[in-house]
Structure 1
């Protein structure tokens, strides 16, 4: 069988990851190292060389866009759509699971998804009904508290208050919120994952069905997983499933929303014998950028270690601009990308578009005013667009 088309476009380390025998594997993938290509080619390798059925493969990503791209590229590589494979976000796959087993999950068939705005409205009503001061007990903080506890796998009765009156009050709000959701058949995003995990714990026959089916599990951006997501994957894999995780301990930036970079080390501990492959060749940046990044990242503690490199040019010297404030930063960014309009540079490909947080309202306003650009940001979009974006995790 000629499988050269699966390997010819890859570098040595990418080839090693794609063509490895079926086993548990950590792929430490630096920024711009072609990890999506590796995931897609690995899935094709499993089906073509290892004779794995598409029905045995689950690929988990963190965005609908990444999931759609993966499906498209697999179809292009294989020449046909691979039905039966589950490719989607954690939330999307959990949602699919709960729809299929709603009775076992103690949910009505037509259960509704709560987005963040829906959560806030419900919590505001509950806090008012509990005669709590909404300034001392703001709904948004309650939402963060509840989502955080769910991400840790904790129900209200699992939360330890240790006699702390503040913790006790939040626990009561959580309890009231959960009871209201259960009565109305409502499920928030964090609940999707927690409920799906509980479904498997409480219904072993359902868990065993999916363990027997999904014997090949691939997870992207593993450094961004939280406690319940890790537990979900660990439970599904069991003792016989083969898991390939792709992540970068140097790119963990979502700790504020529960992501645990330690999950990479937990994976190595929970799956003894898992091989580690490092993707260090970078296809995105110049040598000057990579040398600076390597020098900076070397100071991180607890690293698994890798050194990014490129066979490209040194590029322009790195320059640093210390902005006085957000408005000054916005002015600087706009002035740097405006000349690109004359050379047909796509705004989405401009380096500043990924280097600067696009949710800054002042950045959008400055762009619109100075460069006549249309920049879509969640904070400035219409309510309909916001709702569409909020609901997107469950669509994949």
Structure 2
């Protein structure tokens, strides 16, 4: 079975999938089939090398990615796929803490707080400190608390570092939050990683237990790991465990929340012997798009050189439009869509990508006016958002005093 999987891989992909006696760093360019390689590697380990499925771990960073891995692996391994340990790093930490949290002062039945639970803790703290949530929102406070924690800054250190009224207040909120959380013996999402790391680092019996359970560890999207996550991965990797990481330094997007691209760049120095395999054949785009991407990214410093290429046919060049005003962009796009539609291209075969959800407003307004049908994916149509509906209700009331109660209109 695994031979048929390997036959579908190109030479570099096959090397990445079958190198099993040393650590492996896979530099996987966009659209280069990294998930296929990871799945082929696990199937190869199980079916060709006789590795027990439960001694293989695959870590990813979203539930969606983990479920996709499980689905793909099930198609190849059947029931054995359910034995392979595939999870997000947060889920893995929950598993470890449920087994041994009592060794670091928590009950094994500790509660996990979601953002709403966190805000419920903040409410009485705000009342006690007389903090106006319009001045310091709950989200701002929770963001500050997360930043403090992930930088190993405790409440006392935060208070000592405070330089102005806002930072002093945030430090007090943080102190109250941590006091209540510890009283509850609960953990938020940051704590799952921090306490999971502390458990592995401080309790040798737990660390050795997990190291002895695993022969192969795989980590996806490795360019976006932060020092805490990397610390957990290193502590899980025993002397006889082989670590395979997959990522692309050119696609690092989470530096704003602590991810460090240096981790993947210097991985081969931390784990030796290490084989680096570059996947640079793209299966998603045409060459003109890749040429433009290569030309832009080549100026990044301290990057691992790789030029993406493809065998897909296509010679249509990228069109760049620069409008004098923001309003010109959706008009240009609408005109392009109409022209392509007249030539036989279906609306459903065209897509618009934008950086932020609020950007959809201008496109929606123009599309409505010229009759272009559209569907919003991953967000809510601008005029269907609750705050916009509320505002429109009150505007209608201002223009027509005979309208019904605006609060009821908003609920409707």
TM-score by length of 2: 0.81
Is the 1:146–1:174 Cα contact (8 Å) retained in structure 2? Answer: yes
Determine if the alignment matches structure 1 residue 318 to structure 2 residue 318.
Answer: yes
> CA-to-partner distance for each residue in 1:68-108, whole Å, 9 max, x for gaps?
11111111122434233221211222223223334335334
CA deviation after TM superposition for structure 1 residue 197, in Å: 1.0
Contact 1:221–1:247 under 8 Å retained in 2: yes
Give the C-alpha shift of residue 286 in structure 1: 0.7
CA distance in 2, matches of 1:73, 1:79: 10
What is the alpha-carbon distance in structure 2 between the residues aligned to residue 49 and residue 121 of structure 1?
Answer: 52
1:211 aligned to 2:211?
A: yes
String of CA shifts for 1:325-363, please: whole Å, max 9, x gaps. 66655565566568679856657xx5534x644464526
The Cα of 1:373 is off from its aligned counterpart by: 3.9
Deviates more, 1:20-29 or 1:236-245: 236-245
The aligned counterpart of 2:44 is 45
Question: C-alpha offsets along residues 253-277 of structure 1, whole Å, 9 cap, x if unaligned?
Answer: 1212222111112422211321110
- Name the counterpart of 1:375: 376
- Judged with a 3 Å threshold, the aligned counterparts in structure 2 of structure 1 residues 361 and 103 are, in CA distance, closer, same or farther, namely farther
- How far the C-alpha of 1:133 sits from its partner, in A, is 5.4
**Which residue of 1 is the match for residue 20 of structure 2?**
21
Residue 393 of structure 1 is matched in structure 2 by: none
Shift of 1:48: 1.9
Identify the residue that residue 6 of structure 2 maps to in structure 1.
7
Q: Structure 1: how far apart are the matches of 2:103 and 2:332? A: 55
Q: For structure 1, which runs of at least 5 residues remain unmatched after alignment? A: 384-396
Who is 2:237 aligned against? 237
2:270 is matched with which residue? 270
- Higher Rg: 2
Aligned to 1:183: 183
Which deviates more from structure 2 when the two are superposed, residues 115-124 or residues 22-31? 115-124
| SS of aligned partner of 2:38 | helix
Q: Give matches, 1:217-228, under 5 Å.
A: 217-228=217-228
TM-score with structure 1 length normalisation? 0.84
| Distance in 2 of aligned mates of 1:379 and 1:179 | 38
User: Any conservation in 1 of the 2:17–2:41 contact (CA below 8 Å)?
Assistant: yes
Equivalences, count: 379
Instruction: State whether residues 24 and 275 of structure 1, in contact with CA within 8 Å, keep that contact through their aligned partners in structure 2.
Output: yes
The farther-off stretch of 40-49 and 25-34 is 40-49
2:55 aligned partner: 56
What CA deviation, in whole Å up to 9, does each residue of 1:6-30 have, x standing for no partner? 3100001001101113321110000
Whole-Å separation in 2 of the counterparts to 1:366 and 1:102: 53
Q: Which moved more, 1:38-47 or 1:263-272?
A: 263-272
Deviations 1:28-76 (A, max 9, x none): 0000000000000011111122221111111011221211111111111
Q: Contact 2:32–2:283 (CA<8 Å) still a contact in 1? A: yes
C-alpha distance in 2 between matches for 1:233 and 1:56: 15
The C-alpha deviation readout for 1:132-184, integer Å capped at 9, x for no partner, is: 45565443232122212333355445669457456565444322211212223
* C-alpha distance 219-328 of structure 1, shift in aligned 2 (>3 A): farther
Give the whole-Å Cα distance in 2 for the aligned partners of 1:159 and 1:239.
38
Q: Is the 8 A contact 2:20 2:242 kept in 1?
A: no
Deviations 1:177-229 (A, max 9, x none): 11212223432211211121112123221111111102211011111111211
| Equivalence for 2:389 | none
Is residue 2–residue 40 contact of structure 2 (8 Å, CA) maintained in 1? no
Q: RMSD of the TM alignment (CA)? A: 3.1
